[in-house]
Homo-oligomer: A and B are copies of this chain.
Amino acid sequence: MPQHTVRDPDFEQRVRASFERQQFMATLGATLEHVTPGEVFIAVPFSAALTQQHGFLHAGVVASVIDSACGYAALTLMEPGAGVMSVEFKVNLLQPAAGNRFVAVGRVLRSGRNITACQGELRAVREDGEVVVAVLQGTMMTVRNRDGIAD
């Protein structure tokens, strides 16, 4: 595991406040579960409103919660005042996202001045245990001095 430098001691409160402003997370019914330096978990319950045509979680929902988990993992390591935005991400769907509840994990691999590399996954919580149904690899950007872009 990489060692991370915390540049903002109030990182958790900052991430939680930003998450509250992501209205799309509320639309998904997602909740912020765990915030430590370089690692964030987001949970989302199964809901028919989030499904694709075969009744599984839509791949875009899968991507959305892992992307947010990674973005907030990146934000835990940014200096006060900076904002985080997604540059790109790539998702591999390992199996249909079936389950009662899902937990997205986002982790920072490397936090640079302008660029943060992350990996994440989505775990489906089933009666017989947890299974990883998707993995994500992506890049986050630190945005500075741009109106309206903080946290």
| Inter-chain contacts of A96 with B (CB < 8 A) | 85
Q: When the two chains form their complex, are residues B63 and A51 in contact, meaning their CB atoms are under 8 A apart?
A: no
A67 to B115 Cα, complex, angstroms: 19
- Taking the closest CB of chain B, its distance from the CB of A48, in whole angstroms, is 6
Which of B48, B65, B87 sits near A139, CB closer than 8 Å? B87
Which chain B residues lie closer than 8 Å to A63 at the CB level?
Answer: 59-60, 63-64, 67, 89, 91
Question: Are B137 and A135 neighbours in the complex by a CB distance under 8 Å?
Answer: yes
Nearest B residue to A18, CB-CB? B53
Give the chain B neighbours of A24 by CB distance below 8 A.
49-52, 58, 60-61
Question: For the complex, is A100 an interface residue (Cβ under 8 Å from B)?
Answer: no
Q: Given A92-B117, A93-B87, A94-B110, A51 and B22 touching (CB < 8 A)?
A: yes
